[in-house]
Chains A and B, each alone.
Chain A
Amino acid sequence: MVASIQVDARGRSCPEPVMMAKKAVDQGHKEFMVLVDSEAARDNVSRFVKSQGLRVQVEERGDEYVLQVNG
């Protein structure tokens, strides 16, 4: 069991948020949280984790989004 981690991808240009999520997946994490603050990043990261067979729940927090990824 890999410890759950938090990826802070706020304020990053494309494709960095996805690369940061990819790094977490590549390290074997199946449960982690990604923080983003743009809709483009929210959509791109969601699309990526779904393509990896993982599930994602999006929660809006003010001007930011919390993406909870689950195996």
Chain B
Amino acid sequence: MTLSVLAGPAPATGTEGYAAHVARLGPLPLSTSALIDTIDRSELRGKGGAGFPAATKWRAVASRRAGNPVVLANGGEGEPLSRKDRTLMEQRPHLVIDGALLAAGAVGAREIVLYVGADHTGAIRAMQRAAGERPPRERDLLHVVSAPVRYVSGEETAAVNFVNTGIALPTSIPPRPYERGVDGRPTLVQNVETLAHAALIARSGDAWFRSLGVGTASGTTLISVGGAVPQTMLIEAPQGTTITDAVNAAGGLTADSDAVLLGGYFGSWVAASTAWGLVIDADGLRANGYSLGCGVIAVLPAGRCGVVETARILAYLAHESARQCGPCTFGLRAISAATGRVAALTSSDGDLDHIKRWSGLLAGRGACRHPDGAAGLLGSALRVFAEEFQRHDQQHRCSATIAQSVAS
């Protein structure tokens, strides 16, 4: 397995300290605006879920450097099926901090917020300790902020809002954070894994990063693999390899499977026969209507019901809605309730028809992408589990033989 951000001492040895980090990788390279061109050529994408090109974000903030920019390293990681960010911060905090410092140098920021989910206690400790180990001129730029435990806390406007007001709820866009973010200043919000990759690209160059990928794909990416594998596992996969490769790297299948959840709770169900051959590459996946989101593959073991799993995820997402926008507050709640009835074999006339119609009514109708994520998941479930939805709704029968959850 190609290792890049997870290279170095074995996970069992715990957090890599500053001295070991510098001994292994050398000192922090100088950061100039030329670094943005290097990042651009590396084809590094944001690893928080949206997959936006990192260099484009950096340029947008750098062009506003007169506004005294801020860098917000996003380690909120609210996705229940993901553990990559907390693990990375716990094991390689200095790589994340390097990336944040380099980004700050490139965009002209003199302040860095390290935003870490409050439940990721190991990561918070590691980041705080790591910040304290840095030389004073670096340490003085760094502020560790613990983010409320909530699905939407990691959404970029919610992260900015929390730093500004103590409320971790999304705000309406415009303005986007790069226009007006922390303290009203241009703010680069970048996922911690993205920053860790940037720290290595700054040292080894864009050609090196591209060479880590297979075929035309560039670099590596962290993936949490769960479900029908020996245990939920974090792997670092070369882009351009397949879902099958990732599952094998996590120990291989422990059961037959008919469906795979790609991209986590905002992702989509994919028929297993299709999923195995899919190539891990943002553009290729997007062309097929898929995304790995924040790097999640969850394999649904045969015998578990996709309708039940979907209902459980929708109930979670409805509960986690910020309840600021009507379509998400009421629409998602109604969808979740109806899907719950179908899953529990207690649906009444029209429930499934309502679900199908409503599933098309959520996208693009919130301040953030929460309703879009839920709608995407539901739409994929209606396609992949079409027969099972019918069986539940019409015959009040479930074909599951195991009553357990893929995400538990």
Do A and B bind? no
B contact set with A: CB distance below 8 Å: none
A contact set with B: CB distance below 8 Å: none
